[in-house]
Amino acid sequence: KAPFTIAAHQLFVTASIGISLYPGDALSAEQLLRNADSALFKAKSEGRDCYALYTEELTAHAQQRVQ
């Protein structure tokens, strides 16, 4: 991945993405966003420039952390 050069500074851009799909993962926009956020947390925990799909296991894991 090539860096961008701005004002003699090299910038590296990466993205991590959490994905939640309608209607399989949730029916409301709010729940889709919560699920995508859970998937994003998983993607970031795996390193930079990653993506993760939401699974029900992510919600179960988050609930266990809270308890």
**Does the pLDDT of residue 60 top 90, yes or no?**
no
> Given this model, what pLDDT does residue 25 score?
97
Please, which pLDDT band fits residue 59 given cuts at 50, 70 and 90? confident
* DSSP of 16-33: -EEE--TTTT-SSHHHHH
Report phi then psi at 25, rounded to 5: -95, -25
DSSP alpha helices (H): ranges in the chain? 29-45, 56-66
> What are the pLDDT digits (tens) for 1-27?
789 999 999 999 999 999 999 999 999
With beta carbons less than 8 A apart as the criterion, state whether 17 and 43 touch.
yes
Across the range 47-58, mean pLDDT stands at: 94
Provide the whole-model pTM: 0.80
DSSP letter assigned to residue 64: H
